[in-house]
Amino acid sequence: MKVITVEDLSFRYRRAVNYSLRDVSFEVKKGELLGILGPSGSGKSTLCLTFNGIIPHSIKGDFSGDVIVRDPKTGEEYNTKETPVAKLSTIVGLVLQNPESQLFNMTVEDEIAFGLENLGLDRNEIMRRIMWALEVSGLEGLEKEFPPNLSGGQKQRLAIAAILAMKPEVLVLDEPTSQLDPVGREEVLGLISLLRKEHGITVILVEHHTGYILRFADRVIVMDGGRIILEGKPGEIVEEVEVLRRLGVKLPPSLEISHELKRRGLIKRLAFTEEDLLSEIKSL
- Binding residues vs ligand ATP (CB under 6 A): 13, 16, 20, 38, 40-46
CB of 267 to ligand ATP, least distance (A): 32
CB of 220 to ligand ATP, least distance (A): 14
CB of 218 to ligand ATP, least distance (A): 21
Q: How far is CA 99 from the centre of its chain?
A: 14
Residue 43 or 168: which CB sits closer to ligand ATP?
Answer: 43
CB atoms within 10 A of CB 253: 12
Residue 108 or 249: which CB sits closer to ligand ATP?
Answer: 249
Residue 167 or 227: which CB sits closer to ligand ATP?
Answer: 227
CB of 98 to ligand ATP, least distance (A): 11
Say which residues have a Cβ less than 8 Å from residue 160's Cβ, sequence separation at least 6: 95, 137, 171, 173, 176, 188, 191
Helix (H) or strand (E) holding 282: helix 274-282
Residue 16 or 183: which CB sits closer to ligand ATP?
Answer: 16
Residue type, 38: G
Residue 38 or 252: which CB sits closer to ligand ATP?
Answer: 38
CB of 99 to ligand ATP, least distance (A): 16
Cis geometry, peptide bond prior to residue 56 (ω within 30 degrees of 0): yes
How far is residue 94's CA from residue 35's CA, in Å, rounded to a whole number? 15
Query: In Å, how far are 75, 132, 160, 200, 202 from 1, measured between CA atoms?
Result: 10, 26, 24, 13, 11
